[in-house]
């Protein structure tokens, strides 16, 4: 590892941190240390880092703003890659916007509205980065990334680069090609449409107000824990089963929104995982439906 770190620093790939605690990098405020945290600032730095990790046979995973992610209490062996400020930009050109992968998805929706562009209103309450949103085909309110993406710049795990069009991204519900082939989105281009600024602002305000009223956003959480099963909603099933308020340690199934698990302070990843399993078991026994987690599990078990 010392030789790898030396080569990474020599290659100038950005920030290199050893044994970095990840709780401060996740919205759940949970997670042990990463052996190595890399924060590249350019495509070239990222490609160089991936090539070195491959040469040294060091496993890696990507982390955005840490929403939708549960990091193990034991931490993450190998490297965690978090794109730096060099990927935090948005450039508008007519009805398209080219945006770096570390740009806030919520901020993008607001900025698009100010430009008089419609199509991203659904993103107004989705935390995380643009890169994470593309990876997960994030969506809400009847829309998702697949409806507006024009292309995505990707660097694969061997350091090679590609630009994939929407049809090549393998989008389905909360899924993209990146679930099957390992790589990192560095930039996305979205095709929007001209709209009325007041109507866009009203839609964003309405979605924001609804989320503030129905979701425990003032607490440490990670968004929806489970994917919605076909023709139903995970939150409805969990609430109907009487599981709101179910608690394990400092982790609790939210009493405001049943598909959220909140951290009251000091919750462990194991507490959250125990709740996830208890909810899954109850819903399967009660309704014959296996809820599939939407959150990504990172690290050593």
Catalytic residue numbers?
174, 224, 294
Helix (H, G, I), strand (E, B) or coil at 145: helix
Cα four-point dihedral sign 209, 227, 270, 60? negative
- What is the DSSP pairing of strand 193-194 with strand 117-118? antiparallel
**Would you give the DSSP letter of residue 74?**
T
Find the largest Cα–Cα distance for the chain.
57
Question: What does the alpha-carbon distance between residue 263 and residue 218 come to, in Å, rounded to a whole number?
Answer: 11
Helix (H, G, I), strand (E, B) or coil at 110: helix
Beta strand spans in 115-236 (E): 117-118, 139-140, 143-144, 149-156, 161-165, 183-191, 193-194
Closest listed residue to residue 37, CA positions, set 58, 54, 21:
21
Closest listed residue to residue 149, CA positions, set 169, 129, 132:
169
Q: How many CB atoms sit inside 10 A of residue 232's CB?
A: 11
Length of the chain: 301
Q: How many CA atoms lie within 13 A of 32 on its CB side?
A: 16
């Amino acid at each position: 590892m010392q030789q790898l770190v030396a080569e990474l620093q020599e290659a100038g790939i950005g920030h290199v941190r050893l044994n970095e605690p990840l709780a401060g990098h996740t919205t759940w405020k949970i997670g042990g240390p990463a052996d190595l945290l890399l924060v590249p600032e350019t495509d070239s730095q990222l490609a160089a880092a991936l090539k070195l990790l491959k040469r040294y046979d060091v496993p890696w995973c990507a982390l955005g703003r840490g929403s939708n992610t549960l990091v193990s209490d034991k931490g993450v062996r190998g490297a965690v890659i978090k794109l730096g400020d060099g990927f935090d930009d948005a450039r508008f050109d007519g009805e398209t916007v080219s945006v770096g992968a570390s740009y806030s998805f919520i901020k993008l929706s607001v900025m698009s509205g100010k430009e008089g562009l419609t199509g991203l209103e659904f993103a107004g309450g989705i935390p995380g980065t643009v890169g994470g949103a593309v990876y997960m085909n994030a969506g809400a309110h009847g829309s998702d990334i697949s409806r507006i993406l024009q292309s995505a710049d990707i660097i694969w795990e061997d350091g090679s680069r590609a630009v994939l069009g929407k049809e090549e991204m393998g989008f389905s519900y909360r899924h993209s090609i990146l679930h099957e082939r390992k790589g990192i989105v560095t930039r996305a281009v979205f095709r929007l449409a001209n709209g009325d600024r007041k109507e866009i602002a009203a839609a964003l305000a309405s979605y924001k107000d609804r989320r503030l009223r129905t979701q425990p956003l003032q607490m440490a959480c990670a968004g929806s824990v489970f994917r919605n099963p076909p023709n139903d909603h995970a939150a409805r099933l969990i609430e109907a089963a009487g599981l709101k308020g179910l608690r394990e340690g400092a982790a609790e199934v939210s009493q405001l929104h049943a598909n959220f698990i909140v951290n009251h302070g000091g919750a462990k990843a194991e507490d959250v995982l125990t709740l996830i399993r208890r909810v899954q078991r109850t819903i399967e026994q009660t309704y014959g439906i296996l809820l599939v987690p939407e959150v990504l599990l990172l690290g050593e078990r």
